[in-house]
Amino acid sequence: MSELNNIALTVIGNGKGILAADESTGTMTKRLDGVNVESTSKNRLIFRETLFSSESMKNCIGGVILYDETIKQSTTSGKKIPELISESNSVPGIKVDTGAKVLAGSSKEKITEGLDGLRERLKEYYKLGARFTKWRAVYTISEDYPSKLSIISNAHALARYAALVQENGMVPIIEPEVLMDGNHAAEDCYNKTSEVIKRCFEELILNKVDLKGTILKPNMILPGNKSQQKISSEDISKLTVKCLKESVPSEVPGIAFLSGGQTETEATENLNSININNNTNFIMTYSYGRALQQSALKNWSKNIEDIKETQAIFNHRANMCSLAAQGKWSKDIEKQSN
């Protein structure tokens, strides 16, 4: 078993998932503004340190995706953030793309940038303790989109990124996110997501990326957020599993879903259904940002000194996600343990 495969399995194995704490300073400022907390470097650190030192980190969180600011910070006691994460047997990771910009030639779509200077940045992140990375591509669904240009351009960038990451001894998370925005049906999401993922793996193989040392971070198959279509968690899970079974090479060790605008409970319930219906060899787990943090953030904002209560709320959510990653969650358990 390769070292990269070992890292991937440590991050997503044994009912564990990923805490996506890689919000850029701009995004984190919006989140903190939303709960009336001033977005200073210190406040951003206090909230993240509260989560990273929670009890559930040991059993539920296999990896944490950090942002450039956070991986270089130290805790209030002087411990480096990657050290704090590693102490819970969780793996520090890092977001390495520099954001989605307008795609030349298709101005309503985006291309993710950040390949320039990436090799050098990866060397620095490795020294800081990172052992896996993340790069997100975004695609919109409409009658005209995603275009071939968007699908091909983003797949190529993801593959170049992944090759550089593995060259530097880290596991790349491949995140092709087909956005929920729009009035499309779940079937449209299924078709477009299949096309996007298949193209990504064609490019990864072309770029000689070791698929056993990767993690895929896709969207679930959902109707658009403006769609009138009502769809059960059972149907979401069956479409999602079918899509991934047909689109993802068997060498990939696992899939860590993004929550993509779902509520905390929706993201948990849908992941649980996916695992109940999982007839593949893939580990199916979570890589959630808001769906792990939102309730904890709301509580923390009332009193940023109240670490204990915020951690209790985060622990509950992480435990629910971990159960869902094993197909053991239920609405009753959610209510009883809340």
Q: How high is the pLDDT of residue 265?
A: 96
Residue tagged active-site, from 16, 95, 192, 217: 217
Q: What is the mean pLDDT of each run of 10 residues along the chain (338 residues)?
A: 93 98 93 93 94 97 98 94 97 98 97 98 98 98 96 98 98 98 96 98 98 98 94 97 98 97 96 97 97 96 93 98 97 84
Q: How high is the pLDDT of residue 209?
A: 98
Residue tagged active-site, from 175, 177, 269, 334: 175
CA separation for the pair 68, 70 (Å, rounded): 6
* Encoded tokens for 337: 């343990």
- Give helix 264-276 / helix 290-302 axis angle, nearest 10°: 150
CATH number at residue 8: 3.20.20.70
Domains contained in the chain, number: 1
Q: How high is the pLDDT of residue 6?
A: 97
Of residues 54, 47, 22, the one with CA closest to residue 32: 47
pTM for this model (two decimals)? 0.97
Q: How high is the pLDDT of residue 338?
A: 67
CA separation for the pair 109, 224 (Å, rounded): 17
CA separation for the pair 218, 180 (Å, rounded): 12
Residue 57 near residue 13 (C-beta atoms within 8 A): no
Residue 119: which domain range?
3-336
Q: How high is the pLDDT of residue 337?
A: 73
Strands 91-95 and 100-103 come out as: unpaired
Q: Which residues of 21-47 are buried (b: 16+ CB within 10 A; e: fewer)?
A: bbbeeeebbebbeeeebeeeeebbbbb
The dihedrals phi and psi of 98, each to the nearest 5 degrees, come to -110, 20
Q: Give yes or no: 208 in active site.
A: no
* Encoded tokens for 309: 């209560």
332 membership: H or E segment, kind and range: helix 331-336
Q: Give yes or no: 175 in active site.
A: yes
* Encoded tokens for 79: 């411990």
266 membership: H or E segment, kind and range: helix 264-276
Three-state DSSP state, 20: strand
Q: Which residue bears the tokens 């991934």?
A: 244
Which residues are CB-neighbours of 60 under 8 A, at least 6 positions away? 15, 16, 17, 318, 319, 321, 322
CA dist list (Å): 96 to 61, 229, 335: 20, 36, 38
DSSP string, 230-261: ---HHHHHHHHHHHHHHHS-TT--EEEE--TT
Q: How high is the pLDDT of residue 288?
A: 98
Q: How high is the pLDDT of residue 335?
A: 86
Which residues are CB-neighbours of 213 under 8 A, at least 6 positions away? 2, 3, 4, 5, 7, 8, 166, 171, 172
